[in-house]
Structure 1
Amino acid sequence: MKTLTEDDFRAGYRKAQLIDVREPNEYEGGHILGARNIPLSQMKQRHKEIRPDKPVYLYCQNTVRSGRAAQLLRKKGVQDLYTLKGGYKQWTGKIKTKK
């Protein structure tokens, strides 16, 4: 798993699977544009939704949960894993919120 700066994360996430591992209420409060919500608490049940043949970009609020999600996905055979340094709190790019 690689931890990427925001610039590197931004450069690659459009060609990857962008996964927000925070809980649904956090996701609805605001998330990176284009991200899918698969909370860490559901990752064991839902990991099959993630394609192992494409890069996976993970983020959470800080970096703790995305790191745990990456470990779980690696055990399930996903190799190309990246996390956002500083997490969503540090993100300055485009976001989407549910009104």
Structure 2
Amino acid sequence: MKEISAKEAEQKLSQGKKLNIIDVREADEAAAGKIPGAIHIPLGLIEFRLNELDPSKEFIMVCRSGGRSGRAAQLLASKGFKVVNMVGGMLEWEGNLE
């Protein structure tokens, strides 16, 4: 599985790159702050919301520490999506939040 660090993702965003980030944390976690522009889809709902995702795009999966996002990335990859897991998750994120 492809991986990206929180620092790498933050650098890409600061360079103006458009990233397709999916935050798979629970609603209360995401409400406390998420990466600007990230789509919030809790891990338990991701399989039911696949139709909302464009299979031609690459998605960066994010959770608190990287475990749940890794599971989400495996699920999406098994469905033919291009995915990258952000290792360390939001615990390592030092950038802006929305």
Is residue 81 from structure 1 mapped to residue 87 from structure 2 by the alignment?
no
Secondary structure in structure 2 of the residue aligned to 1:81: strand
Q: Which residue matches 1:3?
A: 3
Measure the CA separation in 2 of the matches of 1:28 and 1:53: 28
Percent identity over paired residues: 38
User: TM-score, with normalisation over the residues of structure 1?
Assistant: 0.87
Which runs of 5 or more residues in structure 2 are unaligned? none
Once the 2 structures are TM-superposed, how far is the Cα of residue 76 of structure 1 from its aligned partner?
1.3
User: TM-score, with normalisation over the residues of structure 2?
Assistant: 0.88
Aligned residues: 95
Quote the RMSD (CA, aligned, Å).
Answer: 1.6
Q: Is the 8 A contact 1:40 1:69 kept in 2?
A: yes
Q: Deviations over 1:10-50 (max 9, x none)?
A: 31694231100001111101111111101111011011211
Is residue 71 from structure 1 mapped to residue 74 from structure 2 by the alignment?
yes
Which runs of 5 or more residues in structure 1 are unaligned? none
